[in-house]
Structure 1
Amino acid sequence: MTDARNILFIMFDQLRWDYLSCAGHPHLHTPHIDALAAEGVRFTRAYVQSPVCGASRMSFYTGRYVHSHGASWNNVPLKVGERTMGDHLREAGMDCWLVGKTHMKADDEGMARLGIRRDTQIGARVEQCGFDIWERDDGLRAEGPAGMYDPKGAEHYNAYLRARGYDSANPWHDFANSGRREDDPEELASGWFMKNARKAAAISDEDSETPYMTTRAIEFMAQAGDDPWCLHLSYIKPHWPYIAPAPYNDMYGPQHMLPVVRDARERQEAHPVFKAFMDGRIGRAFSRDEVREAVVPAYMGLIKQCDDQMGRLFAWLKQTGRWDDTLIVVTSDHGDYLGDHWMGEKDLFHDPSVKVPLIIRDPSAQADATRGTTCEALVEGIDLAPTFLEIAGGEARPHILEGRSLLPWLRGETSEWRDYVVSEYDYSMTGAAAQLGVPARQARLFMIADVRWKFMHADGMRPQLFDLAEDPQELVDLGTSAEHAGVIALMYERLADWARRPSQRTTLSDAQAEARRGKSADVGVLIGIYDPDELPPEQTAFYRGRPRPG
């Protein structure tokens, strides 16, 4: 074990990398997250493996690319047998618990085929992405004429709200994510309608989702014994519905918004997939100024609430001594366009969507030299699982975990590192695929990005290319530029290299495979031997002389 006995793995949902004051936001002050960065390392080039909740999280939790684990979009099951962070850490002697969201869909068919029962410890872990559950809350109790999006979403939180007096069929929506109409205080002003984003949610701050999850995490850590643990504290906000309780709902206004990043040329010269997303309902909505002026201040308020809860959480850790023996990670599963590039939500590969904040504080003395620094190495979400395994004292598993441990960067050591990062997006279930008439098996996007260039491949279509040095806001698409044919060719070489990586032999390590070389004769397999004298006598002893007695 290192000096960090425990791991607190904090993930926000849909938090942009640049909406923190330590990342340069001029109006949104996040002093508690900034203070964590001042005691740790802030990685400035961290990318997720898919810019959508489910697929991104499955890569964080498995340490594997989407191409490897196969859970390529929201509610695509993570197949039975895919090893997760919890599996690796438990084998190294560290428990792995969840408070909050995973967005993992269990492989019901696979579990039934193999006879894995949910009421067993193994079955529960397979169903819950390898975590032991303190509280799972994927945070969406949306409902419509076809039923609920997630029947178990916010189930425990709704029970908590009813016990606190928020009585309705769905308090998650009716109180935590809705305000009230000014002309009729009994009528809902639903957070699903973005015109209501600046209203105060009809709930006290202390009962809203983010403080509730903080409380549940503290309750877990307060009862945790002496055995090492990893706690994944996975917040639902600042994900939509964009509505915050008072006082956070009106802390910010349009005057505090970052200037929108978009250009008319993006529409005029749009890649077909990019155009389909821009022209979709969400893209059209976030292209309107009144939508941004309602949503962005509310989004900022939700982040401010998240930071205040970090202050509460970090204070508890310090008071109880956990601060001194716990590695703390703060990150996000993806970002939010918020109108940049004529887009809303996430889905594609511009930095507001695919780049995320990543701050790690290692309490050990070996990390003292890097405190308060930034690291510009190209980092991927899959790097956290091997980092955690090394913290737990486990043996590296590069034949399974495709990321790389970040401990060298935390401890001021130089490390051989990657030249580019990869992200993927399966858009087969989106309206964009329907609009383009793309078959499901062809509706795939791949991003290759290095320090200078960002490249996107779309099956059956031209590529995209951005020069991040000359065009850091990614406004000028060079995908058809003859002058950049060499760069595009390099990116295709990298994509082909990456696609040929050894990713499927996960049941045997490289060392085990190499140990088997030339050993077949020791177990009596003598292919290609003409005369017994060609081999040492001991390898042919069983095949010479008279038959042995039975």
Structure 2
Amino acid sequence: MAYNIIFYFSDQQRWDTCGCFGQPLPITPNLDALAGEGVKFDNAFSPQPVCGPCRALFQTGKYPTETGCFRNNLMLPSGIKTLANYIEEAGYETAYVGKWHLASDGELEKAPTVDHTITAIPAELRGGYTGFWRTADVLEFTSHGYDGYVFDENNNRVDFKGYRADCINDFALEYLDQYDGKKPFFMTVSQIEPHHQNDHNHYEGPKGSKEKYANFVLPHDLEVLKGNAAEEYPDYLGQCASLDENLGRLVAKLKEKGLYENTIIIYASDHGSHFKTRNTDSHLNGYDDYKRTGHDGALHVPLVIAGGPFTGGKAIQDLVSTESLPKTILAMAGVDVGDKMIGENLLDVAEGRTEGRENQVFAQISESRIGRVVRTADFLYAVYAPGVNGGEKGASDRYADDYLYDLKKDPWQLENVVTSPDYSEAKADMRKRLLDWIEKAEGARPVIMD
């Protein structure tokens, strides 16, 4: 049986916005219902907390340092076999709606030299997707919380009116309405919510969000470290609730069309948001932002997979990385890519086939710094490259300690113990783990300076 596959992912969504991951308000009833049917991964982490690099990984199954897409404003290079290439070869038709962020190229924070940020993306820059297409390269440039435009597979501009998350979801429903069932389908729904609106520097929830979610309770890290969450969180929750309402509409359409029982739905986010509580140190190139750090606020993301073999309402405690999603999606389609993609088949983790598996995850950080992170169940350890601009280079041969957290005592990562002699043994162990990861991922073993 060939399953239909939907990859529904949000942008900048923390794991703890979801009821199934601990949010006390009724923000995500539809996702919670899927988690009750399928598998939720309680400890899922992004491998790169910046939009473009993470998307490049999702499309290639390769680290951003290998594809060259280590920061924003770098387009996906030609000559790399992509997720879409593999899955179309396997007999699937493809559809992509929403944000792409992989078709423009140039220096960071400057006008691109190859610029499709607000124009149609040429077919050769669509990563191998040849089917239904309702996409903007940088959706936050072609739209706001309400109203905007994308482009179709024939490069025609398609305007939309209404709340953006609703309208992007409408394009996904449009695809399902015209789907003829001749082939199984793989559809990506790449929502931009709950990303902040860049030109307004504000999270834009549906009208009335501030009133509807006025009784919010901030996650402890945001409460203690301040940032701008106290002002922005109600709109942020409104965005997350809108995403969930649209997930519910998508599920309803699948049921209406008789497709639900044969469709696997993956819900995830590219990375989270720390609401300007991190990245304030002088060595971080002046960034004061929402991501670009190895703390849980930026890396810990929701991940639920439901349908096909992902059943039973399981809650998986193992640490997993969303770097595994391309390989997992292809495995769902009957394609075993072996070592051509990084990561693992998450079905193995869901079904307990974890003998010999290291319970740890790795992340690359860019733009704010060149940083590397390794996380186990007990510790989080990170390094940075002193004096090197993370927007200009993707890697370094020299790093220095950035932070170490004892997650059993300090789960919200509030006390950096990287210089504490009490943790010298733990730091040495985590340092070796990190160096092993870097060597495996990047083909070189750098020096971490004492």
* Structure 1 match to 2:420: 481
* Structure 2 match to 1:458: 384
Query: Structure 1 residue 220 and structure 2 residue 165: aligned?
Result: no
1:358–1:415 distance in 2 versus 1, CA, 3 Å: farther
Query: Structure 1 residue 376 and structure 2 residue 304: aligned?
Result: no
Distance 1:499 1:414 in 2: 22
* Structure 2 match to 1:317: 254
* Structure 1 match to 2:191: 235
- Cα deviation 1:165-198 (Å, max 9, x = unaligned): xxxxxxxxxxxxxxxxxxxxxxxxxxxxxxxxxx
Contact residue 176 and residue 253 of structure 2 kept, 8 A: no
* Structure 1 match to 2:216: 256
* Structure 1 match to 2:5: 7
Distance 2:99 2:220 in 1: 30
Q: How many angstroms does 1:159 deviate by?
A: 4.8
Q: How many angstroms does 1:223 deviate by?
A: 1.8
1:397–1:96 distance in 2 versus 1, CA, 3 Å: farther
Q: How many angstroms does 1:447 deviate by?
A: 0.3
1:5–1:159 distance in 2 versus 1, CA, 3 Å: closer
Distance 1:259 1:487 in 2: 27
1:95–1:107 distance in 2 versus 1, CA, 3 Å: farther
Larger helix percent = 1
- Classify the secondary structure of the residue corresponding to 2:404: strand
Query: Structure 1 residue 407 and structure 2 residue 347: aligned?
Result: yes
Amino acid at match of 2:370: R
Q: How many angstroms does 1:319 deviate by?
A: 1.6
* Structure 2 match to 1:86: 84
1:160–1:124 distance in 2 versus 1, CA, 3 Å: closer
| 1:471 alignment partner, one of 410, 413, 416 | 410
1:412–1:221 distance in 2 versus 1, CA, 3 Å: farther
Distance 1:240 1:139 in 2: 12
- Classify the secondary structure of the residue corresponding to 2:86: helix
Q: How many angstroms does 1:97 deviate by?
A: 2.2
Q: Note the 1:56-455 alignment, pairs <5 A.
A: 56-106=54-104, 124-132=122-130, 133-137=132-136, 138-141=138-141, 154-156=149-151, 159-161=158-160, 207-225=162-180, 226-241=182-197, 242-253=203-214, 255-261=215-221, 287=227, 291-338=228-275, 340=277, 344-364=289-309, 367-368=310-311, 371-398=312-339, 400-411=340-351, 413-414=353-354, 416-427=356-367, 443-455=369-381
- Cα deviation 1:211-230 (Å, max 9, x = unaligned): 11111101112222321121
Distance 1:416 1:86 in 2: 31
Contact residue 420 and residue 449 of structure 1 kept, 8 A: yes
Larger radius of gyration: 1
Query: Structure 1 residue 490 and structure 2 residue 429: aligned?
Result: yes
1:89–1:125 distance in 2 versus 1, CA, 3 Å: farther
Length, aligned pairs only: 395
Contact residue 134 and residue 220 of structure 1 kept, 8 A: no
Contact residue 4 and residue 327 of structure 1 kept, 8 A: no
Q: How many angstroms does 1:337 deviate by?
A: 1.1
* Structure 1 match to 2:20: 22
Amino acid at match of 2:196: W
**Structure 1 alignment gaps of length 5 or more:** 109-117, 144-152, 165-206, 267-285, 431-442, 505-550
Distance 1:502 1:30 in 2: 35
Distance 2:101 2:50 in 1: 10
Larger strand percent = 2
Distance 1:155 1:320 in 2: 26
Distance 2:264 2:382 in 1: 35
Distance 2:179 2:433 in 1: 45
Distance 2:336 2:303 in 1: 24
Q: How many angstroms does 1:339 deviate by?
A: 5.2
- Classify the secondary structure of the residue corresponding to 1:476: coil
Distance 1:102 1:494 in 2: 33
Distance 1:41 1:475 in 2: 30
Distance 2:258 2:209 in 1: 30
Distance 1:154 1:249 in 2: 26
Distance 1:61 1:453 in 2: 30
Q: Note the 1:46-61 alignment, pairs <5 A.
A: 46-61=44-59
Amino acid at match of 1:363: G
Q: How many angstroms does 1:250 deviate by?
A: 2.6
Aligned Cα RMSD in Å? 2.8
TM-score (norm 2): 0.80
